C-alpha cells in the first residue's frame, strides 16, 4: 500500500506523555514489519474511529477516512533518550493540523492501543526468539 499525505503548518503543538506499553508496541509492530522485509512503516486501521495510524521511525500520523490524504494530527519528537528504562513513559509532542483533531486526542490514546493489539495478535513470528546474555554489573 502506498499513501501520499499532506499537512500544513500545525495550528497547535503541545507536549504530552505516552505510556511505555503504547510506545513499545508501536515499535514492536514496526520492527516486525521491517524484519519481514516490509517497508519502514506500519498502517494501523483504527476501525472504531474510522482513522488510520501510520507509524514510522520518527512519528505516528493519523488520517481520517473522510479526508484520506490530509494528516489530522501527528505524534512527534519522542524523547527516547530521557527514559531510564523501557517501562517508563515517554515525552512527545502532538501537532494538531485541523480544528477537528483537537477533539480526538483523548480517544486516540485509548483506541490506538486496542487496534495495535489486534494487529500484533495477527502477526506470526517465523523464527524462535533469542536470549541475549548481558554481563553482570561491575561491583
For residue 45, the model assigns a pLDDT of: 95
**What three-state secondary structure class fits 12?**
strand
Distance CA 82, CA 43 (A): 27
Our CA angle for 10, 52, 69, nearest 5°, is 55
For residue 73, the model assigns a pLDDT of: 95
User: Residue 129 corresponds to which cell in the numbers above?
Assistant: 526468539
Look at the block and give the residue holding cell 505524534: 75
For residue 121, the model assigns a pLDDT of: 86
Q: Give 24's contacts (C-beta < 8 A, 6+ positions apart).
A: 86
**What three-state secondary structure class fits 66?**
coil
Spell out the domain ranges in the chain. Answer: 12-120
User: Residue 101 corresponds to which cell in the numbers above?
Assistant: 483533531
pTM over 0.85: no
End-to-end CA distance of the chain: 52
For residue 83, the model assigns a pLDDT of: 85
For residue 111, the model assigns a pLDDT of: 96
User: Residue 123 corresponds to which cell in the numbers above?
Assistant: 502477526
Distance CA 16, CA 93 (A): 6
For residue 102, the model assigns a pLDDT of: 87
Mind listing the pLDDT tens digit of every residue in the chain (139 residues)?
A: 677 899 999 999 999 999 999 999 999 999 988 887 777 889 999 999 999 999 999 999 999 999 889 999 999 999 988 888 889 999 999 999 998 888 899 899 999 999 999 998 876 555 565 666 667 666 5
Distance CA 60, CA 117 (A): 16
Amino acid at each position: 500500500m502506498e499513501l501520499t499525505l499532506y499537512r500544513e503548518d500545525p495550528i497547535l503543538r503541545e507536549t504530552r506523555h505516552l505510556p511505555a506499553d503504547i510506545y513499545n508496541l508501536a515499535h514492536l509492530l514496526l520492527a516486525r514489519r521491517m524484519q519481514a522485509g516490509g517497508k519502514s512503516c506500519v498502517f494501523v486501521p483504527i476501525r472504531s474511529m474510522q482513522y488510520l495510524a501510520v507509524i514510522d521511525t520518527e512519528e505516528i500520523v493519523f488520517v481520517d477516512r473522510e479526508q484520506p490524504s490530509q494528516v489530522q494530527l501527528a505524534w512527534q519528537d519522542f524523547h527516547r533518550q530521557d527514559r531510564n528504562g523501557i517501562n517508563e513513559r515517554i515525552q512527545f509532542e502532538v501537532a494538531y493540523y485541523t480544528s477537528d483533531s483537537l477533539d480526538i486526542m483523548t480517544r486516540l490514546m485509548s483506541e490506538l492501543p486496542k487496534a495495535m493489539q489486534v494487529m500484533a495478535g495477527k502477526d506470526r513470528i517465523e523464527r524462535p526468539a533469542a536470549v541475549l546474555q548481558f554481563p553482570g554489573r561491575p561491583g
